[in-house]
Amino acid sequence: MSPKYFIKNYKFIIGIIGLVIFALSVWSEIMGQMIVFRSLRVIFGLALIAFVVFVNKWNTNTVLKYFLISTCAASFFVMFFEIAILIVPAVIFNILAYSFLTLGLYRKAYFIKLKWYILLGFFGIMSINFYLMIVVVDVLQEVSLNTLHSTLLAINTFVIATTALLALIYNYFYSSRSSMTFIVFLTLYIFSEFFRALGYYDLMPGYYALSTGRALFIISFGALFHYMVIDKKADEILKWPF
C-alpha cells in the first residue's frame, strides 16, 4: 500500500481500525481484562504515529509528534494502574503532552490583536474553565495517592485549561477547516480524559465512563490525524515558540 493510496482512503482505514479497537475495548472491559483494555489505547496511539510517519508528515508536525509520543508514554504507565508508583510518571507525561500543545499554540495566540471585549470574553471562558477544573481537582484529592500526585493533578488541570484557551484563540484568528478540526480534536480528547478519570477513580460506573472515554479518544485521534495530514497555510502549522 502506497502513501498516496493511504492518504486517499485514510478515513475509511482509520475508521475500521477504530471500530475494531473500540469493540475489543468493550470486550476486554466486560471480561475484566483491564491491562488489555489499557494496552489497546497504547496500540491505537502507536498506530497513529506509524501512519503519520508512513505518509511523510512526521517532520511537518514537530509539536504534535511529541504530543503523540508523550501521550503514548502516559498511556503505557496507566496500563499498570494498580501499581501506585507508576501513576506519578503517567501524570507527568500527560502534563508534558499538553505542554507541547501549549507551546505550539502560544505563537498563534496574538493577544495584542484581540479587541478588548473579545479578550474579556476569552478570559471569562478561562475563568469558568478554571473553576470547573478546580472542582474536578477537589474531587480527585480524595483519590490521590500522596501530596506529589495531588500537586501533579492540579498542574495537569492548569495546563489543560491553558491549552483549551489558546486553542480557542487559535481558531478565532484562523477560522479555517484545519483550525476547527484541531478544536474538535482537543475538545473530544479532553472529554475522553475526563471520562477515563471518572472510570478509573470509581467516580462513575466504570463501564459507561470507560466506554464513553474510549470512543471519544478514538474519534479525537482520528480528528488529530486528519489535522496533521490536511493542507494548511504555513502560518497555521503548530511550531516551537523558540
Domain ranges of the chain: 3-236
pLDDT at 186: 94
Say yes or no to pLDDT of 147 above 80.
Answer: no
Say yes or no to pLDDT of 112 above 70.
Answer: no
CA distances from 75 to 5, 164, 186 (A): 30, 21, 17
pLDDT band at 221; cut points 50, 70, 90: very high
pLDDT at 116: 60
Rounded mean pLDDT of 210-238? 89
pLDDT at 17: 94
Which letter does DSSP use for residue 239 in this model?
-
Say yes or no to pLDDT of 86 above 90.
Answer: no
Say yes or no to pLDDT of 164 above 60.
Answer: yes
Say yes or no to pLDDT of 143 above 80.
Answer: no
% of the chain beyond a pLDDT of 70: 86
CA 135/CA 86 separation, integer angstroms: 25
Total Cβ atoms within 10 A of residue 210: 22
CA 44/CA 224 separation, integer angstroms: 13
Helix, strand, coil content of the chain in percent (nearest 5): 80, 0, 20
Which grid cell is 168?
Answer: 480557542
Say yes or no to pLDDT of 44 above 80.
Answer: yes
% of the chain beyond a pLDDT of 90: 33
Please, are residues 158 and 166 in contact by the beta-carbon 8 Å criterion? Answer: no
Segment 87-104, tens digit of pLDDT: 889 999 999 999 999 988
What's the predicted TM-score (pTM) here? 0.88
pLDDT band at 214; cut points 50, 70, 90: very high
Say yes or no to pLDDT of 132 above 70.
Answer: no
pLDDT at 240: 72
CA 242/CA 232 separation, integer angstroms: 21
Q: Output 110 or 82, whichever has higher pLDDT.
A: 82
Segment 168-212, tens digit of pLDDT: 888 887 888 888 999 999 999 999 988 888 887 776 766 788 899
Cα angle 158, 161, 165; round to 5: 140
- The chain-wide mean pLDDT, for the chain, equals 83
